[in-house]
A and B are shown apart, each in its own frame.
Chain A
Amino acid sequence: MRLEHWLYAAPLRLRSLFRRQQVERELDEELRGHLEHLIQQNLTAGMPPEQARAAAMRQMDGLEQRKEECRDARGVNFFEHFAQDIRYGARVLRKNPGFTLTAVLALALGIGANSAIFSVVYGVLVRPLPFPDAERLAMVYVHFSPQNSERGNMSIADFLDWKAQNRSFEEPALFAVAGAAQLRRFDLTGVDEPEEVRGTSVTTGFFPALRAQPLLGRLFLPGEDAAGSERKVVLGESLWRRRFGSRPDIVGQGIVLNGMRFTIIGVLPASFQFARLPDAEVWTNLLLNPPTHRGPYFYNGIGRLKPGVTLEQAQAETNAIGGSIERANSSWYSHLTMPVIPLREALVGKVRPALLVLFGAVVFVLLIAAVNVANLLLSRANVREREIAVRAALGAGRGRLVRQLLTESTLLALLGGGLGLLLAYAGIQLLRAWNPGNLPRVGDIQLDSHVALFTLLISLASGILFGLAPAMHSSRGLIGSLNEGGRSGTAGTARRRVHAALMVSEVALSLVLLIGAGLLLRSFDLLQKVNAGFSADPQKVLALDITLSGPKYADGKAQVAFFDRLIEQARALPGVESAALSDSLPPSEAGDSDTFVIDGQAWTQAGFPSTDNAILGPGYFRAMEIPLLRGRDFADSDTAGSPPVAIISASLARRYFPHEDPIGHRLKQSDPSLHGSPFMEIVGVVGDVKYDGLDDHSEMAYYTPYRQNFARNLYLVVRSGLPAASLSGTLRQQVRDLDPDVVVSQPSTLEQVMSDSVAQPRFRTALLGLFAAIALVLAAIGIYGVIAYAVAQRTHEIGIRMALGARRMDVLRLVTIRGLQLTLAGLAIGMAAAMALTRLLKSLLFGVRPSDPLTFLGMATLLCTVALLACAEPARRAMRVDPMVALRYE
């Protein structure tokens, strides 16, 4: 019945809407036809023409009213009024460009910030991963004491045990993520220009778990990860197009990676994106060679849950497997669990707190903007009081008036939203270009229909939010406004109260944001002041990442020979103060990390945690200006043929040699079960250096010379007074001259390295700081508006007070005390809210408590000062009130 009704009605409604003129003409024709019939009838009855016409009109009972009723019957008026409201609203906004511009800009800032951050939150946290049934995918880690990482990497031995006992996952898979740099970097040689490409090696279950399909050729087959299998590689589409000219006959051909020959078996489409390794272009088969010991921990597990298996069941199973591994290796592991983390959580879990905090912050900015616009609308409602009263007197219903005012505010919000969307677009481009500190899934951030819809929704919501209070307020208590000549006492008081409430909430909201930003700023400041352990001017130190590849460097002697020649040439360059080699760089480029043993001390797993272990050459400590506290630096005489030596960090010396001189004691890499490695004599103690990030607390490290090690990948560290650009060009040329097949990465100064290491904290601090600054400006404008309005309202009263003998100081006090009272109320509420909310920031803070009193008081003082400044101009105006002028208006 209803449906059938609409079948008839819908075309008519549409016609009424879109063919309005024709419908209107037809209506006119129909009624006029009737009228003419009546006239004819009257003429026939013998009336004179004039009279006949008048009588006919009377019989019609009001032609125009009937037409209007017909229009009502057609349901056109709703749209008609809506269109009227919009036209009228647009006219009102056009006639007040200052007001409109202010409001639209404030809203655009608020909405734009929201849309930009929403697009980041959506792209990174919400958008489905690009795999079928991605929620069934999970990463598997190992977590044990003393390597206390919640998401610790796995070793091949752990994986084999897991795979053997697994029942919850379809074929478990393993892929390399870390450890020795060469596992993630592949030097593509044997082509016209050697290049370093990113990639990983995976077991055969990896691609089936992700349901990946090849663009060309095939992916790995079961068994191709078995020990001793032939080396095969799958290329990414980008590499295939860039280096192999998109040739379809590439499958079956060989390439040389890291000096080893691989057969190309297939090409992955560019649509295959694994966010854990976003830049991977080569995927080799990981060979599960039988391990000699539990390490090294270079891998992550991944798997797809079998149908019907829950995450909890899988977790229970892997923990049980972990327990059995622990029992079988009790000297190595304690408290071993194997955390199962859903893939999405594993990929983006770390950035979620920061993104949600930023999202919360922009919501605050939008609220402040909305409060500001509400204030503006309310102040203007005073000016429009007469207009609204007249309209009400002429018969406009309250609902109709509220609708008119809401249409205006919604129109404002949509204008703000449109401009905001443009701001968001620019913001997203900036964010993507900035690519703040390896934000995962940055490619998934885009301004799409979701963001547009979100923008529309928040625009409408804020339009109603800031429009409703003033609209309800204006349409109430109108009766008094006409007869009282515009200054209605009661309505004025009520409005002042609404103003006050808006101002208090604005101050409170801003304070929360300011305190949040202040805490992050303090953290960032403290983080940057952390002593990384070296005193060299980071601008003057240049680091080049050099990787030796190919069979000619398979032998340790060849590696040492190359590096020896390189360092000799680098030191000979004019302007170079100091040059050295190292596989580690402060503050976050740790080389390897492994346990160790000290000769003569009882070894326990817990007593000798995994420790940074850097391979470097003589002169590194001098180049970096790391203090040598005891003993000596490595020397050119520390070679493969001489007794093995090591240097330890001050922390390590303090912990293991609290009461004696460590020099002369002996230390050995790894645990006692590894018999191959020799004991090394400790020849020196150096100052502590950070290698695991500025916020890391462990500073234990030991150093070994590269001439007594196996090192294909080292940084050339050069300190000089030369400009970085020209020096790096010279150094690259030197490397090329020595061997054109050696891969050199883009050189960077230590300053850049330091700066990159805090990219993520800087990103969130800068954004939150920006939002807080916007909030502060909006709050200042808002406070100014409220106080200026109050002064304008009270000009008359001030005039009387002055006429009665009040001095200017009294007036000043009158105005500022009002502002101060409201500000203090806002500050009190804001403090309480901040106390509750800053706890959410805890994981983002460094060296500062969430309730840091200094930040709380500092930001409150700042906001209070700004509020007073915002009161200053209205106060000055109040003091200049001429009692005569003010009174004359009475």
Chain B
Amino acid sequence: MSRPSDLVQGTLDLLLLKILALEPLNGWAISQRLKQVSGEVLQVSDGSLYPALHKLEQGGWISAEWKASENNRRAKFYSLTRLGRRQLEHETANWSRLSSAISHVLKLKEA
């Protein structure tokens, strides 16, 4: 099992949900968007994207549909489900709480 080791567990899921919340995309477009939005900070290999997508689909958070892509090739497009939207809100809130708590801790001055 190769997990993107430099990503906090569960962060990839959150990112994917967020990206798909904006618009339905296929796998290739998602990978491009990931690179684009996170710069080179988040290293996600192209391969590990798909198991994560399939797991989200299996969980009912995103659903998939085969459609023609921009260059008229058949591609699998993922979009957020109602369940996924709720999950995204939930996870976003969690993340904000966690990150503010952590940055709070990190900002403590050494006595």
Q: Which of A's residues lie within 8 Å of B, judged by CB?
A: 4-9, 12-13, 26, 29-31, 33-34, 37-38, 59-63, 65-66, 69-70, 72-75
Query: Given the known A-B contacts A8-B83, A33-B27, A33-B75, are A74 and B58 also in contact in the complex, defined by CB atoms under 8 Å?
Result: yes
The answer to whether B60 touches A9 (Cβ under 8 A) is: yes
Give chain A residues whose Cβ lies under 8 Å from the Cβ of B73. Answer: 33
Give chain B residues whose Cβ lies under 8 Å from the Cβ of A61. Answer: 2, 45-48
The answer to whether B58 touches A73 (Cβ under 8 A) is: yes
The answer to whether B81 touches A8 (Cβ under 8 A) is: yes
Of the candidates A8, A13, A70, the one whose C-beta lies within 8 Å of that of B50 is: A70
Top 8 closest pairs, chain A to chain B, by CB: A8-B60, A61-B47, A69-B51, A73-B55, A66-B47, A73-B54, A61-B45, A60-B47
B101 on the interface (CB 8 Å rule)? no
B67 on the interface (CB 8 Å rule)? no
* A73 CA to B74 CA, complexed, in Å: 23
Give chain A residues whose Cβ lies under 8 Å from the Cβ of B52. Answer: 73
For the complex formed, measure the closest distance between the CB of B49 and the CB atoms of chain A, giving whole angstroms.
8
* A59 CA to B2 CA, complexed, in Å: 13
For the complex formed, measure the closest distance between the CB of A41 and the CB atoms of chain B, giving whole angstroms.
9
| Chain A residue nearest in CB terms to B83 | A4
B91 on the interface (CB 8 Å rule)? no
Give chain A residues whose Cβ lies under 8 Å from the Cβ of B83. Answer: 4-5, 8
- B51-85: CB near A (< 8 Å → 1, else 0) gives 11011011110010010000001111000010100
The answer to whether B74 touches A29 (Cβ under 8 A) is: yes
Cross-chain pairs A/B with CB under 8 angstroms, 30 sampled: A4-B60, A4-B83, A5-B83, A6-B60, A8-B60, A8-B81, A8-B83, A26-B66, A29-B74, A30-B27, A30-B75, A30-B76, A31-B47, A33-B76, A34-B28, A34-B50, A38-B46, A59-B45, A59-B47, A60-B47, A61-B2, A61-B47, A61-B48, A62-B47, A63-B47, A65-B2, A69-B51, A72-B51, A73-B51, A75-B58
* A864 CA to B68 CA, complexed, in Å: 80
The answer to whether B50 touches A66 (Cβ under 8 A) is: yes
* A62 CA to B46 CA, complexed, in Å: 10
Give chain A residues whose Cβ lies under 8 Å from the Cβ of B59. Answer: 5, 8-9
Give chain B residues whose Cβ lies under 8 Å from the Cβ of A8. Answer: 59-60, 63, 81, 83
* A26 CA to B73 CA, complexed, in Å: 14
Query: Given the known A-B contacts A8-B63, A33-B75, are A66 and B51 also in contact in the complex, defined by CB atoms under 8 Å?
Result: yes
B1 on the interface (CB 8 Å rule)? yes
Give chain B residues whose Cβ lies under 8 Å from the Cβ of A65. Answer: 2, 47
Q: How many A-B residue pairs have CB under 8 A?
A: 79
Give chain A residues whose Cβ lies under 8 Å from the Cβ of B46. Answer: 34, 38, 59-61
Give chain A residues whose Cβ lies under 8 Å from the Cβ of B55. Answer: 73
For the complex formed, measure the closest distance between the CB of B67 and the CB atoms of chain A, giving whole angstroms.
12
Query: Given the known A-B contacts A61-B48, A66-B47, A70-B54, are A37 and B28 also in contact in the complex, defined by CB atoms under 8 Å?
Result: yes
* A38 CA to B45 CA, complexed, in Å: 12
Give chain B residues whose Cβ lies under 8 Å from the Cβ of A26. Answer: 66, 76
The answer to whether B60 touches A34 (Cβ under 8 A) is: no
* A38 CA to B47 CA, complexed, in Å: 11
| Chain B residue nearest in CB terms to A70 | B54
Give chain B residues whose Cβ lies under 8 Å from the Cβ of A5. Answer: 59-60, 83
Give chain B residues whose Cβ lies under 8 Å from the Cβ of A38. Answer: 46
* A59 CA to B35 CA, complexed, in Å: 13
| Chain A residue nearest in CB terms to B49 | A34
| Chain A residue nearest in CB terms to B32 | A37
Q: Chain A contact residues: over half helix, strand or loop, or mixed?
A: helix
Within 8 A of A (CB), among B10-50: 26-28, 31, 45-50
| Chain A residue nearest in CB terms to B66 | A26
* A12 CA to B58 CA, complexed, in Å: 7
Give chain B residues whose Cβ lies under 8 Å from the Cβ of A12. Answer: 57-58
| Chain A residue nearest in CB terms to B56 | A73
* A407 CA to B36 CA, complexed, in Å: 50
| Chain B residue nearest in CB terms to A4 | B83
* A29 CA to B64 CA, complexed, in Å: 14
For the complex formed, measure the closest distance between the CB of B3 and the CB atoms of chain A, giving whole angstroms.
10
For the complex formed, measure the closest distance between the CB of B101 and the CB atoms of chain A, giving whole angstroms.
26
* A812 CA to B28 CA, complexed, in Å: 77
* A4 CA to B63 CA, complexed, in Å: 13
Beyond the given pairs A5-B60, A61-B2, 5 more chain A to chain B contacts, judged by CB atoms under 8 angstroms and listed by A's residue number, are A8-B63, A13-B58, A37-B28, A38-B46, A73-B58
Give chain B residues whose Cβ lies under 8 Å from the Cβ of A70. Answer: 50-51, 54
Give chain B residues whose Cβ lies under 8 Å from the Cβ of A7. Answer: 60
Max chain B Cβ within 10 angstroms of own Cβ: one of A31, A34, A75 = A34
* A70 CA to B59 CA, complexed, in Å: 13
Query: Given the known A-B contacts A34-B31, A70-B54, are A60 and B2 also in contact in the complex, defined by CB atoms under 8 Å?
Result: no
* A26 CA to B64 CA, complexed, in Å: 11
For the complex formed, measure the closest distance between the CB of A72 and the CB atoms of chain B, giving whole angstroms.
7
Give chain A residues whose Cβ lies under 8 Å from the Cβ of B74. Answer: 29, 33
Give chain B residues whose Cβ lies under 8 Å from the Cβ of A62. Answer: 2, 47
Give chain B residues whose Cβ lies under 8 Å from the Cβ of A63. Answer: 47
The answer to whether B1 touches A69 (Cβ under 8 A) is: yes
* A69 CA to B52 CA, complexed, in Å: 9
Max chain B Cβ within 10 angstroms of own Cβ: one of A13, A29, A70, A75 = A70
* A38 CA to B51 CA, complexed, in Å: 18
* A13 CA to B49 CA, complexed, in Å: 20
Max chain A Cβ within 10 angstroms of own Cβ: one of B51, B52, B59, B66 = B51
Give chain A residues whose Cβ lies under 8 Å from the Cβ of B76. Answer: 26, 29-30, 33
* A7 CA to B63 CA, complexed, in Å: 12
Give chain B residues whose Cβ lies under 8 Å from the Cβ of A75. Answer: 58
* A749 CA to B26 CA, complexed, in Å: 91
For the complex formed, measure the closest distance between the CB of A602 and the CB atoms of chain B, giving whole angstroms.
95
Give chain B residues whose Cβ lies under 8 Å from the Cβ of A9. Answer: 58-60
* A65 CA to B48 CA, complexed, in Å: 10
| Chain B residue nearest in CB terms to A56 | B46
Give chain A residues whose Cβ lies under 8 Å from the Cβ of B58. Answer: 9, 12-13, 73-75
* A72 CA to B2 CA, complexed, in Å: 13
Max chain A Cβ within 10 angstroms of own Cβ: one of B31, B49, B58 = B58
| Chain A residue nearest in CB terms to B57 | A12
For the complex formed, measure the closest distance between the CB of A407 and the CB atoms of chain B, giving whole angstroms.
25
| Chain B residue nearest in CB terms to A63 | B47
Give chain A residues whose Cβ lies under 8 Å from the Cβ of B75. Answer: 30, 33
For the complex formed, measure the closest distance between the CB of B57 and the CB atoms of chain A, giving whole angstroms.
7
Max chain B Cβ within 10 angstroms of own Cβ: one of A12, A30, A59, A60 = A30
The answer to whether A31 touches B2 (Cβ under 8 A) is: no
* A33 CA to B49 CA, complexed, in Å: 13
The answer to whether B50 touches A30 (Cβ under 8 A) is: yes
Give chain A residues whose Cβ lies under 8 Å from the Cβ of B60. Answer: 4-9
Give chain A residues whose Cβ lies under 8 Å from the Cβ of B48. Answer: 61, 66, 69
The answer to whether A60 touches B54 (Cβ under 8 A) is: no
For the complex formed, measure the closest distance between the CB of A89 and the CB atoms of chain B, giving whole angstroms.
28
Give chain B residues whose Cβ lies under 8 Å from the Cβ of A13. Answer: 58
For the complex formed, measure the closest distance between the CB of B29 and the CB atoms of chain A, giving whole angstroms.
9
| Chain A residue nearest in CB terms to B45 | A61
Give chain A residues whose Cβ lies under 8 Å from the Cβ of B49. Answer: 34
Give chain B residues whose Cβ lies under 8 Å from the Cβ of A6. Answer: 60
* A33 CA to B72 CA, complexed, in Å: 12
- B76-109: CB near A (< 8 Å → 1, else 0) gives 1000010100000000000000000000000000
* A4 CA to B74 CA, complexed, in Å: 29
Give chain A residues whose Cβ lies under 8 Å from the Cβ of B28. Answer: 33-34, 37
Give chain A residues whose Cβ lies under 8 Å from the Cβ of B57. Answer: 12
The answer to whether A74 touches B47 (Cβ under 8 A) is: no
